[in-house]
Structure 1
Amino acid sequence: MSELILGIDDAGRGPVIGPIVLGGCLLLKEDEQKLKALGVKDSKMLTAAKREELAEKIKEIAKDYETKIFTAEEINEMMNSKINLNTIEAIAAAQIITRIRRKNPGKPIKIVLDCPSTNKNAWLTKVREFIEGSARGLAFLCEHKADVNHVAVSAASILAKVKRDEEIEKLKKEIGMNFGSGYPHDPVTVEFIKKHYHDHKDKKIFREHWMTLKNILGIDTKKQAIDRHRKKEKQKKLFEN
């Protein structure tokens, strides 16, 4: 029996608008070469059109696949409860593993995860804690740059990215405006936030805890306010002397 490999990766970790999406792609080891031959690689190295084309082929070849979406509203709610982004990703990864496992009961699966945390072991421990049911028969490999080094993870990254792009387009239609990619380095996104944040705040599309959002809006974070106060006090002492 050929080895089953489940690759898992995220898309949309850094944006200030919209969801984060995790993708999971279950492959037979023998099918990895088919995907390589098609040009499957890290989604960041592909155009949007190529990702969409490959996503359909991946779905045809894969034994199974899943995506998990956490909206900006859900991210805000969890972060209000002191759940950080790494833990949110661990929850999403565990949900994908649980779903795939239920649809493929009793089959040994090697799970390869692209790790978002600097501490691979600690993050993998979190993932395992959130998996529902027994982890018997599951083998885990958690790496940085797994999306570059493992085809199953590259395929998962493509599925996640295509799904996130679809969700972003839905949001644009819902609010009736183009806000760009949602990333803080996108001038269209920055301009949209500066001009329309307060008009669309109730739509709950913004990641309210992101420092990049606060920076765009010119809102001092607690740390920035403290630093500003210290600087003023230092200048005051210099003048007094």
Structure 2
Amino acid sequence: MQTHKKYTPTLAEEMALFEQGYSFIAGLDEAGRGCLAGPVVAGAVILPRSEDTMQLFAGVNDSKQLSAAARERYYEHIMQHALTVGVGIGSVEVIDTRNILQATKYAMELALKQLSPAPDALLLDALYLPRVSLPQRSIIKGDSRSLSIAAASIIAKVTRDRLMVELHQQHPEYGFEQHKGYGTPAHLTALRTHGATPHHRRSFSPVSELYGLFATTDN
């Protein structure tokens, strides 16, 4: 039986870049790439460079490994103690026009622009930003291995979940508050019953198949 190796985020990747002379290392990650509705959201985080950084951010991990309550707690902690935090949003329109990968990179570029001080090197979870002229390291399972990327994953996930809760208030019949736009059976049933909202990704199957069967809701 094959087992999957579990990682605990560390500062090893950040320290390697510090030793090369870089000072401000930004970790980046996204949330919502696989959803049928809502934007894709990117987080960018630069953690403080100090001897107690690991201790200060103890417990921070890949957002998928944490409960919703834990993500909320760590979100507030990261916002308070990180050196700087940025958030970028790739709207449904950008997703449908450019595709989800390009929308993700666009959101990350927006998040980077919010960082002050600006980063001089990047750590990403299995992505590369060709339009950003900074040294970059793309790390497989980066959100489980780099503390900066893990922190960014929490910022992205909590921000996006809050946006989906707001959309739930506008369209309660879709259950966005529960599934956050992912293609759950309940979400698919709501799509078949009510059609697509302006917040659904027309370029994504099965929305693309259902879109021709229903008029778009106005609100």
Q: TM-score, normalised by structure 2?
A: 0.77
Of residues 117, 122, 126, the one that matches 1:104 is 117
Task: Specify every segment of 5 or more residues in structure 1 that has no aligned partner in the other structure, as ranges.
Answer: 117-123, 220-241
Q: Is the counterpart of residue 145 in structure 1 residue 141 in structure 2?
A: yes
Deviates more, 1:163-172 or 1:90-99: 90-99
| Local SS of the residue matching 1:29 | coil
The amino acid of 2:161's aligned partner reads: D
Aligned-residue Cα RMSD (Å) equals 2.3
Q: Is the counterpart of residue 34 in structure 1 residue 55 in structure 2?
A: yes
Of residues 40, 43, 56, the one that matches 2:63 is 43
Task: Specify every segment of 5 or more residues in structure 2 that has no aligned partner in the other structure, as ranges.
Answer: 1-17, 213-219
Larger radius of gyration: 1
1:211 paired residue number: 205
Of residues 91, 108, 114, the one that matches 2:125 is 114
CA distance in 2, matches of 1:60, 1:218: 43
1:95 paired residue number: 110
2:15 paired residue number: none
Q: Is the counterpart of residue 60 in structure 1 residue 80 in structure 2?
A: yes
Of residues 182, 185, 196, the one that matches 1:187 is 185
CA distance in 2, matches of 1:93, 1:70: 9
| Local SS of the residue matching 2:114 | helix
Question: How far does the alpha carbon of each residue in 1:155-190 deviate from its partner, in whole angstroms, 9 at most, with x for none?
Answer: 000000000100001111112432441111x22211
CA distance in 1, matches of 2:56, 2:34: 27
Q: Is the counterpart of residue 85 in structure 1 residue 100 in structure 2?
A: yes
The amino acid of 1:104's aligned partner reads: P
The amino acid of 2:82's aligned partner reads: A
Shift of 1:92: 1.9
Q: TM-score, normalised by structure 1?
A: 0.70
Alignment size in residue pairs: 188
CA distance in 2, matches of 1:99, 1:218: 36
